Structures are given as structure tokens and as C-alpha cells.
Amino acid sequence: MYNFPTKQGYFGRFGGKFVPEILIPAVEELELAFEEARNDESFKKEFLDLLKEYVGRPTPLSYCNRLTEHYGKAKIYFKREDLCHTGAHKINNTIGQILLAKRMGKKRIIAETGAGQHGVATATVCAKFGLECVVYMGEEDTVRQKLNVDRMRLLGAEVRPVYSGSKTLKDATNEAIRDWVTNVDDTFYIIGSVVGPHPYPMMVREFQKIIGEETKRQLQETEGKLPDYVLACVGGGSNAMGIFYPFINDSVNLIGLEAAGHGAETHMTAASIAKGQIGVLHGAKSYLLQEPGGQIQLAHSVSAGLDYPGIGPEHAHLHDSKRVQYYPVTDADALEAIKLTSRLEGIIPALESAHAIAYLEELMPTTSNNEIVVVNCSGRGDKDMGTISKEIFGD
Amino acid sequence: MSRLKNVFTGKKDGSIMSLYITAGFPEKTSTVNLVLEMEKAGADIIELGMPFSDPLADGPTIQYASDVAIKNGVDLDVIFDMVSEIRKSSRIPIVLMGYINPILYYGLEAFCKKAGESGADALIIPDVPIEESKELKAEAHKNGLDVIYLVAPNSKDERMKLVDTESSGFVYCVSVTGVTGARSGEEVAKSVSKFKDRVKASIQKNPIMIGFGIKSHDDAKQIAGDVDGFIVGSALIETIRSNYPNSDWKEKTLAFVKALKGN
């Protein structure tokens, strides 16, 4: 029986809490608050009610008939996280964490964001609960995800561009941690993925596992069985942990797709598992892209949400234990998948989710007609129209 | 007696001065001489920063120095060479300070061995709290290196006692919550006295060095007068930064060090 993390926050040899002393009281306080909350029926009820009435859950599990015909093999389903309020799975987690923040009496919320989806999801719940919100975002991302910057501002959040390092998600996370170190008494840091020090990777997984639980139930209703394959893109890896976790003890092939950028063999990549070594960043031990000497390598992906040199520690463990297979998918293949899915299914997926869809090209020829493949369509592509216009239409 | 212990023997007037500089800032070749000169100007302990690309407990000043040092080609082997070179003519205690990732990449065992051999005295690794420290401490101690842990204003008394038990060399007392270089001495002085009372009650075994927000001799007297000493990092780096590459950057820097010490 799979039973991670340990009390110390380890998934095998990954995870832990590598934080400055100033944050030790904060992560301990959070750990206690989360343990109390998860065993409190009223907390669970409030969380699930909000997911239903505010987020719009359960999200559909859509049968993709034309994509299925296109490949002529296994049946393909999409788990439609793109239909969540705010356009991605990120809000499942921000609802959970803001309820916790409220419970802990915190007045101020901070967050980091890459593609802006987590930033928008955080700004949204802060508006809903009336809390102050500061979102750190790499300057490069504020340009390529301008639409989300304006959404956050409209929702009343302050977006602080980060100019250090690669000016992307990694640096936004550094800056958010610096803010947390400075304002630790009254500030709650809503981390957007299954990364960071313990208890974050576990806590975010717990708030996201509703994706997999619903998928399991919905497929049972329509097909009367478990899927054969579940596919999800992995940056930090929250949508993937969310859909994988409820299947972890089942005989289901779980496949995580990393962003290879220009190719996992190049320097322009974000494929931490294919190319990384074990290291410590942002509070946890995991696989990281590193330069010789152990400086963190700048990641590259066309998708801002996957443009991160690390991966959640639980994924590192699931890779080590071989329970999940991880493969890299290039920028170009992800863009092709957006075109295909848009035309065949009338669904414009997020660039991030398109990495998972793109893997169907490899997977489908190896499947058979009586099998079922579920892809987590973790977000919608509206936010990516700027990049898509440039990359696909050459505008 | 170890070089670090020796510094604290017989003194308890807040006058021990520990200076932080990032190794290889502003130049790769400037560090050895700068350390030796700073010793003459009054430094009692040197904290040599091992640069990291993502220093998440540091403010803009030390981030900047780290970036420059990395661009200057500084890695751990370069730093070991610097320490060996300093050891040829000085017994000033050298504390290596930096984040854990480059150390893991180098190999914890190899790192501690080389650090010990080169003549370093202690380690401060801010992103490795006691919880994650078992291997690091074992390897460090095997090679004669002290491991120094930190306490902060939000550390509970019990935690401070644990830090005192686990630390050797001294305990690094962070005067305010926040990153390095962010606050003024005045701000710190206002909030620090209550915290210091708790620190003094809890830290019994180790000398107490206080850092964060100290920019002048007056700050040092006010903030650290009743502990063993004080640590200055960002203000020193800022002095170098604002004078480099003028021909007198080093004189200006050493004048600042003398003034800090009150000489």
C-alpha cells in the first residue's frame, strides 16, 4: 500500500523541508493546521461545497469520439479541468489553501505564478474571501501571459513582476519565499503546485486528488471499469498528482509528460526527470536541471506553466519507484496537439495540457480497441492565444 | 583550541566582528587579499559566501554579489583554493556560508573533506535546518568543521535550546524576520531587545553573534553590545559595490571596516 509522505515529509529519498530557520515555525504551524482541517468534517464540507457551487465541479469526463477515430485504437477521454472556474485545475488547490489560511487567521496571501493560472486562481479566491493578495510573476511571463496579469489586477490582486534570474516561475518562487520570510507572521503563502517544503507537496495533492476521484467514478459509470492509461502534463506536477493519486494502488498505467522545450537533449528544455540531477530548490529535494557546479539551469518551455527547472518530490519518487513513467514532449509537438484537438474536438487546450495530449501520437499505436485512455485536460488555451498566434499563425 | 573558539575566549563585550563577503566578488582574484586586509582592519571572523544562483534567504545586495561571483567563474574548488591561500598567512577563522544545492552536487562527503583540508573552520547552510542536517553535521564534524545554526525572532524558546545543543562555534542570531540587507539598524534596535532577552536565556553553550540590519559601529554597539559580537554582510557588499571599480575601492572598503570596528 502506497503511504507517502513520511512524517518528515519524505517521498522515498525526496522532499523534506529545506527552509531557513525563520520559516520553520511557519511550516510547523501549517502542518498542524492542515492535519486538523483534513480531519474536520465541517472543513471538508465547506471545501466540497465551494468546489461544487463556485468552481463548477464535478468537471465532465468527455468522450473524444473524433480523436478516438483519428487514431483508431483505444477510446480517448478528456478530464475537463479546462471547464473549472478560472480555466484550469489550479483553483481546486487555492480554494483548499484559502480555507486553511482563513482558519489560521492569516490576513495576507502571497503566491507565485508562471502561466498566470495559479495567480488568477489565487486572486479569485482572495476576492471571494476578502483577503489581500500579492502575486509574484517573472517579468518574461508577465509579457507572454499579459491577459492573466490583467485578470489578476481586475480581481484586486497586486502583481509584482520579478526581474531576477530567468524572470520566470523559478524566480517568482524565490521572490515569494523572500516575502514569506519577511512577513511570516501574518502572511499565508499559497503555493501553486506539489512543490516546496513539507507539508505543501502532500497538501496540494490532497486538494487536487478530487480530479482523479471524479475520473474514477465517472468512468465506472460510463464504462464500468478502470482506465488503462492516464496521461497528464508535469511542470511542478499538481494536475498530474491530482489525477494519478487515486489510481496509485490500481493496475493503471500512469504517464507524466514533461516539457522538453526544443528537445530533452538540448539546453533549451524543462525536462527535469529526463535531464536533471538530485538537488534542493525551493524547500525540497527532487530532480533539478543544474549546470555543472550545481547552479540551477534556466529552464525553457513554450508553455510558461511548465517552464520550471524542478519537479515535485513525489513525482521524483514515483519515477524512481517506476510507478509512473515520465517522457519529454517538445514545444513543437505540443503546438501540433493544440491544432489537432481544436479541429477534431472543438477544445482549445492550454499549452501545458497539450503536452499530455501530444503523447497520444506515441501511445495510441500501441493500444488496442478495448482499452481506455484518459488525458487530463488541465486547462484551457485562451490565455495562450498570444503565443499560439505567434507560433501557429506567425502573427 | 580551535581557531573559532579562540576568538571568543575571554571576551563578552559585543566587540567580535564577523564580516561576510561573497567569494569572488567583486573579482575572482580580489578575495584572498581582501580577507587578509580586513583582518588587519579589525575583522575577527570571516564568513565566505559560496555563491548560488537562487539565494532565497538573501536580499538584492547579496543576490547581486552572488551573480557577479558566478559570472567570475567561482565554484567550490576555487573557494577551497582561496581558503588554502589565506591559511598560508592567517589564522582568522573562516566560516563557509552558502546554500546546500552546490554542496550536494559536489558531494557532501567530498565537500566537507576538502573544506576541512583547506583550513575552513565552520559551515553555515541557511537552507538546511536541524531537521535535514544529520548527514551534513556528521560529515562536517568528521572533518573538524563546526556547524552553525540560526535562531530568529519567531523561534520558540525550546527551539533556541535545540539550536544551542546542535550548534558549535557560535549561534547566528537573526535580528529580524526578513532577507539579508532589508532593514535599517534603527528598525532592528527597536524590536530586538525582547528577542535578545530570550536568546540570552536560551543560548547557554555557544557564543551569540547577531546579524541582519547592522550597518555601522553605532548599530553594532546598540544591537550587539550585550552579546558576543555582530555580523555585517550586505552593508559591506554595498560599500564594495558602490566604490568598485574605482581605483580606491579597496581603501574605501577597509576604511568602512575600520569604522565598523570602531577603530
Q: Could you report the per-residue pLDDT of A346-371, keeping only the tens digit for each?
A: 999 999 999 999 999 999 999 999 99
Look at strands A61-63 and A14-15 and give their pairing.
unpaired
Task: Please provide the average confidence, as pLDDT, over all residues in chain B.
Answer: 96
* Residue B5 domain-assigned (yes or no): no
The CA distances from residue B89 to B21, B27, B37, B189, in Å, are 19, 21, 11, 37
Indicate whether B6 belongs to any domain: no
- Contact list in B for residue A177 (CB cut-off 8 A) is 56
Q: Is residue B225 part of a domain?
A: yes
Nearest to B57 among A20, A24, A170 (CB): A20
B39, B58, B139, B219: the catalytic one is B58
Residue B126 lies in a domain: yes
> For B6-41, what is each residue's pLDDT tens digit?
999 976 789 999 999 999 999 999 999 999 999 999
Task: Name the helix (H) or strand (E) containing B208.
Answer: strand B208-211
Residue numbers of the domain that contains B248: 11-261
pLDDT, tens digit, 9 for 90 and up, residues B172-193: 999 998 888 888 888 888 789 8
Query: What's phi and psi for B98, nearest 5 deg?
Result: 180, 180
Residue B1 domain-assigned (yes or no): no
DSSP code of residue B173: E
φ/ψ (deg, to 5) at A27: -70, -30
Mean of the pLDDT values across residues A322-328? 98
Tell whether the model's pLDDT for residue B243 goes beyond 90. Answer: yes
- Does residue A299 sit at the B interface (CB-CB below 8 Å)? no
Binding-site residues on chain B for chain A (CB distance < 8 A): 52-59, 63, 70, 75-76, 99-106, 126-129, 131-132, 149-152, 154-156, 159, 163, 174, 177-179, 182
Mean pLDDT of chain A: 96
CB contact under 8 A, A294 and B101: yes
Q: How many domains does chain B have?
A: 1
The pLDDT value recorded for residue A67 is 98
Q: Is residue B90 part of a domain?
A: yes
Of residues B178 and A180, more confidence is placed in A180
| Closest partner CB to B150 (pick from A21, A26, A171) | A21
Is residue B141 included in any domain, yes or no? Answer: yes
- For residues B62 and B160, what is the distance between their CA atoms, to the nearest angstrom? 26
Residue whose cell numbers read 483548499:
A96
ipTM entry: 0.95
Cβ pairs A/B, distance under 8 A: 109
Tell me, yes or no, if A32 comes closer than 8 A to chain B by beta carbon.
no
User: How far from the centroid of its chain's Cα atoms is residue B88's Cα?
Assistant: 21
Which pLDDT band holds residue A144 (cuts at 50, 70, 90)? confident
Compute and round to an integer the Cα radius of gyration of chain B: 17
* Low-confidence winner among A161-165, A290-294, B35-39, B179-183 (lowest mean pLDDT): B179-183
Rounded Cα distance between A115 and A97, Å, is 19
CATH number for B234: 3.20.20.70
Q: What is the mean pLDDT of residues B113-120?
A: 98
Distance separating alpha carbons of residues A254 and A260, to the nearest angstrom = 19
Residue B11 C-alpha, separation from nearest chain A C-alpha, in angstroms: 27
Query: Which position among B39, B44, B47, B238 bears the catalytic label?
Result: B47
Is B164 part of the annotated catalytic residue set? no
pLDDT at position A216, please?
98
Model confidence at A37: pLDDT above 90: yes
What pLDDT digit, counting tens, does each position of A75-129 carry?
999 999 999 999 999 999 999 999 999 999 999 999 999 889 999 999 999 999 9
DSSP assignment of B11-32 equals: --SS-EEEEEEETT-S-TTTHH
How far A282 CA sits from the closest chain B CA (Å)? Answer: 8
Q: Is residue B3 part of a domain?
A: no
For B63-79, give the DSSP string. HHHHHHHHHTT--HHHH
Average pLDDT over residues A205-220: 98
The pLDDT score that the predictor gives to residue A304 is 86
| Residue to test with chain B: of A6, A10, A22, A23, most B Cβ within 10 A | A22
